[in-house]
Every structure is written in structure tokens, then in C-alpha cells.
Amino acid sequence: MSTVRMNEKFELKQHGPVYRFFNSLLKCPYVLMAPALITCICLTIFPMCFGFYLSFHKWDPISGRKKFVGMKNFEYLFNSEDFRKVMVNTIIFMLVTLFVGLFIKVLLGIFLNKRTPLHNLVQTVAFTPHIIATVSVSVIFMWLMDPKNGAFNFVLSSLGLPTSNWLKSADSALASLLIVSIWQTCGHGALLVIAGLRSIPEYIYEAAKLDKSTPVKTFTKITLPLLSPTLMYLIITTSASAFTSFDMVKMMTQGGPDNATNLIAYYVYQQGLMFNQYGRAMAAAFILFLITATLSCVNFFGLDRKVHYQ
């Protein structure tokens, strides 16, 4: 009897005004979207708008004083030889990591696209650099590329080949960073290529064999077009990440020697936290935002017409 009364009381509470209020509230889509929207506004939209506002000011965060300077921060950047050098470095870094890295990822993915225990083991080993922190990778390669005691120069000298100063020379420092960056990302990209290759139906290749298609023609006319969604994803993510590379530069070269490896993300850090020029830093960050947004839109909408979905 007591159990029945408790159930009745529960039913009455369940269908009471408070219950109906919360039930109708949770059915509203805007209430369900509110946590994500508030987080996006606080952590993305507001910092972006505030940074754009600061790009027109000279701001001292210690005293809190802001002086409106108009376009002077942007004029300084466009007239600065250091900033032009940074932009050239960033564009070279992006192009090499994009095209050379994509070529290596596709080749590695095709080579490892076999269902054998050995190939599965190699896939796991190739993916490992992607899950290792960039700081750890940077420390390892700083030791490997040490001009005096590094393993790379030891191997080169053992083979009778000329050694290199690697990160210590302005001529080879950017190339050294490119080697590390491509090495760290090629395994992950290769696994994405393998996933794309295995999503292609086998009957398409069987039809190509019946038509006596050559391997080269099969690859260019069948594999590459059907692999284009994966390639488009790799192009967009690789180009965006290349423009925002920071931690590897910070750990290995600090933008040197002679500004040879300074990329735009590290330049923003330098101007803001090292030189206390927050207005210039925000102006450079806004230029970086425009470049990455434009590049992503061009890649997405320009390549979307050439992407073949199954």
C-alpha cells in the first residue's frame, strides 16, 4: 500500500508545473545549443574580435593603457624586412610540407596497403610519431642533428659524405625543420591514405582488369579520383597546420639562425610576449587568420569540384 502511494506521489510530482517547465525547456533546441554556443563565443569569437580591436591600438597590458594608432601596426608589418622574411619562410614551409609530404604519404600508403602481420606492424610503427608530443620529437632531433655529437653527422662521416650544421646554419635550418615536420606527420597521413584505398570497391579494379587497363592508367583514372576526398582533407589540414606551426620552431631554433626559420605563428609570439608589442602581434595574428581562412576556402571550394565521391 505504501509503495502505491509513493508511486502516486512520484507521478504527481512528475506531471507537476516544475516538471512541465523543465520538460518544455529541454525540448527547446536553443537551450541544448547554449553550452556549445557560450563556449564558442567566450573562447573563439570574443578573443578573435578583441584581437582585431587591439590590432589598431598600442596596448600595454600591465598599465592597461590603449592608444589608437589606426593602421600603423599593419604598416609596420608590411614595411618590415623581418616580416617579409617570415612570410617567405612560412610559404616555403607550407609548400614543401604540402607537396613533398603528400607525395610521401601517398607512396607510403600504397606500399603499406596490404593485410599482412608485417604490414600491420609497420603501419603501427609509422603512426607512432603522430602520437608523440612535438616537444619530445624536437628534443630527440636536436640531439640527432647536433653538428658535433649528433647521430646524423656520425653516419654521414662514416659513409665518407659531407656533414651538415643542420639547425645551426641559416642555409640548412629550415630544411631541417621540414625533415622533422614531414617525418612526424607522414605516418598519420599514410594511414588516412590506406583507409581511403580500402574504401574503393574491388569490383572497380576487376572491371579495369577485364578492360586490360595498365597499372599506371588504373592508378591515374581510378585510384586517384576515388582517393580525392582523402587527398582534399590532407591538403586542407596540412596547409592550415603549416601556417600555424609554433612548438617545433620554439623548441628547436627560436626562429634563428638569422631569422631563417621564423614562421608567422612564432613571429606573433615574439612580438607579443617577448617584445611587448601586442598591437603588432594582433595585427600579425589577424593576417595569419585571413591567410588560413582564405586558403581553406580556396582549397575547399576549388578542389570540391574535382573530388569524386562514391
pLDDT single digits (tens) 235-293: 888 888 888 899 999 999 999 888 999 999 999 999 998 988 999 999 999 999 998 88
Q: What is the pTM for the complete model shown?
A: 0.85
Residues 6+ apart with CB under 8 A from 25: 31
CA angle 198, 200, 201 (to 5 degrees): 110
Assess if residue 310 is contained within a domain: no
Report the alpha-carbon angle 257-94-152, nearest 5: 50
Dump the DSSP string for the chain: -HHHHHHHHHHHHHTSHHHHHHHHHHT-HHHHHHHHHHHHIIIIIHHHHHHHHHTTEEEETTTTEEEE-TTHHHHHHHH-HHHHHHHHHHHHHHHHHHHHHHHHHHHHHHHT-S-SHHHHHHHHHHHHHHHS-HHHHHHHHHHHT-TTT-HHHHHHHHTT-----GGGSTTTHHHHHHHHHHHHHHHHHHHHHHHHHHTS-HHHHHHHHHTT--HHHHIIIIIHHHHHHHHHHHHHHHHHHHHT--HHHHHHTTT-STTTT--HHHHHHIIIIIS--HHHHHHHHHHHHHHHHHHHHHHHHHHHTT----
CATH number of residue 128's parent domain: 1.10.3720.10
Tell me which of 177 and 64 has the higher pLDDT.
177
Residue 14, pLDDT score:
56
Domain assignment of residue 143, yes or no: yes
Confidence (pLDDT) at 53? 93
Per-residue pLDDT, 304:
65
How confident is the model at residue 16, as a pLDDT?
A: 67
Domain for residue 61, yes or no? no
Q: For residue range 105-144, what is the model confidence (pLDDT) as tens digits? A: 999 998 888 888 888 888 888 888 888 888 999 999 999 9
pLDDT of 252 reads 93
159 shares its domain with 258: yes
Looking at residue 308, what is its pLDDT? Answer: 63
Whether residue 59 is contained in a domain is answered as: no
User: Which candidate, 83, 81, 262, 84, places its Cα nearest to that of 173?
Assistant: 262
Residues 45 and 149 in one domain: no
Number of Cβ atoms within 10 Å of the Cβ of 287: 19
pLDDT for 142: 93
pLDDT at residue 1 tops 80: no
The answer to whether position 193 is within a domain reads yes
* Residue span of the structural domain in which 135 resides: 72-304
> Do 98 and 242 lie in a common domain?
yes
How many domains, the chain? 2
